[in-house]
Amino acid sequence: MTYHMENNLAIHDAVQVYLESVALSRRENTARTNQNSLKSFTLARIDSNSDPCKTSIDELPEDAVAWFADWLKDLSPKTISLRRKAFTNF
């Protein structure tokens, strides 16, 4: 099954569509890693006063990966790497 994300889809909804796709096409551990990573990303958006349920995916800034990595800076390097990779794939 192929998903095509609509323009103006909220970040939260886009994450859910992506995670459904990952769950169907990847191993359970990979799907769980992606879920944890993107949950962290949505929490980071909330921390920055950006509601992922109301903010369009089209409004996501180009520097979102760098911004997210900075938000993760207190975690272990391996965790940061895993979460950045999952977010980049998203």
Burial of 82 (0-12, 13-18, 19+ CB in 10 A): middle
**Joined tokens for residue 78:** 């391996």
pLDDT band (50, 70, 90) for residue 60 = confident
**Joined tokens for residue 11:** 């970040």
Task: Tell me if 2 is assigned to some domain.
Answer: no
* 35-65 per-residue burial string, b: 16 or more CB within 10 A, e: under 16: bebbebbbebbeeeeeebeeeebeebeeebe
By residue range, what is the domain housing residue 19?
A: 11-89
**Joined tokens for residue 17:** 């569509």
Task: Tell me if 59 is assigned to some domain.
Answer: yes
Our count of domains for the chain comes to 1
The pLDDT tens digits for 5-43 are 456 799 999 999 999 999 999 999 999 999 999 999 999
Task: Tell me if 1 is assigned to some domain.
Answer: no
